[in-house]
Amino acid sequence: MRTLFLSHPRYRDHLAPENHPEQPERIVAIERQLEGEAFQHLIRDTARPVTDTEIQRIHPAAYVDHIRIQAPHDGLMMSISSDTILSNGTYEAARLASGAACLAVDEVMTGLVDNAFSAARPPGHHASARQAMGFCFFNHAAIAARHAQAAHGAERVAIVDFDVHHGNGTQNIFYSDRTVFYASIHQAQLFPGTGETSETGIDGNILNLPLGAGANGAAVLEAMTGAVLPAVEAFRPDLLVLSAGFDAHFRDPLGDLNLVEADYGTLTRALMDVADQVCGGRVVSLLEGGYDIDALGLSAAAHVSALMGH
């Protein structure tokens, strides 16, 4: 498989307080794991900033300007919510993360690569059109979906989110949009408190599968193969976007699910199989959570290895 890996040095310029879980070392850990011989055929490129046209398909210009203007200078940090921290490098990092999502879509939709993984921060799936929260400022998965539709003629896009937290921002953005399907497997009653099975969108375009604390990889795989994959197959998207959070790992400090790194390879291969059936194998994967540094690196490596066909 021709797998594209996207990152950027400026992701490390988005800073957070020392005890904050969303740290620059997250990207370092992933890049270190992908230096091994098994990843020598990975196609590597650098993210580009999102354009105003691309980002404003999801986020109004006034909101984007607000994030830019709020960003402090001279190494200072400020909270725009209880857990969402702006530093001098945040705005540029977030624009690069969204731009990477669009670049990944471009490469996959034009057939230059088979699939892509963007290791970017800050993450995105908690950001709604006009609100930053949960470490997130711009919703990269939503921007990617709209870019596929606007720039590449995709009629339908499916987003599958396997972060331990529910992607409330992505759900909110597409709740009444029949052209985008959003499915989430997440821990029940965890931040942000959304993602009940009763939240089904318009014509069932939203599918939530909350799992109880302690659920393991077998339970997640059962939810994936029993519900999510058949729904994706029925929706028949032109592109599959993954909100790839690795915080369901048993070592992660922010969740209580019990996946191991090998589970992410299994889940990825299952998702690739359905993508092969419905959309020519076109998969764009975007990093969301994962806050135990070692577990994140190993889990992301298992994910990328599966994308490469290993």
* 3 state DSSP class of 84: coil
Give the domain extent around 131.
3-308
pLDDT at 245: 98
- pLDDT class for 81, splitting at 50, 70, 90? confident
How confident is the model at residue 73, as a pLDDT?
81
What share of the chain has pLDDT > 90, as a percent?
A: 95
Q: Is residue 74 scored above 80 in pLDDT?
A: no
Active-site residue, selected from the candidate residues 8, 59, 125, 126? 126
Distances (CA, A) of 158 to 3, 34, 90, 242, 284: 19, 27, 28, 8, 11
- Look at residues 245, 268, 266 and name the one whose alpha carbon lies nearest to residue 257: 245
Given a cut of 80, whether residue 115 has pLDDT beyond it is: yes
Active site residue 126: yes
Tokens of 175: 């709740």
pLDDT, mean over the chain = 97
In this structure, what CATH number is given to the domain that contains residue 132? 3.40.800.20
Please report, rounded to a whole number, the percentage of residues in the chain having pLDDT higher than 70. 100
Q: How close are the terminal C-alpha atoms of the chain, in Å?
A: 9
Helix (H, G, I), strand (E, B) or coil at 103: helix
**Tens of pLDDT, residues 124-162:** 999 999 999 999 999 999 999 999 999 999 999 999 999
Query: How open is the CA angle 6-294-123, to the nearest 5 degrees?
Result: 45
Contact 164, 289 (CB under 8 A): yes
DSSP assignment of 68-83: HHH---TT-EEESSSS
Distance, CA of 162 to CA of 232 (rounded, Å): 14
Number of domains in the chain: 1
Burial bucket for residue 85 (CB in 10 Å: 0-12, 13-18, 19+): buried
CB 189 within 8 A of CB 164: no
Q: Is the pLDDT assigned to residue 184 strictly greater than 90?
A: yes
SS3 270: helix
Q: Collect all residues with Cβ–Cβ distance below 8 Å to 185 and sequence separation of at least 6.
A: 161, 162, 209, 211, 220, 223, 224, 228
Tens digits of per-residue pLDDT, 211-266? Answer: 999 999 999 999 999 999 999 999 999 999 999 999 999 999 999 999 999 999 99
Integer angstrom CA distances of residue 90 from 23, 120, 127, 130: 12, 12, 14, 17
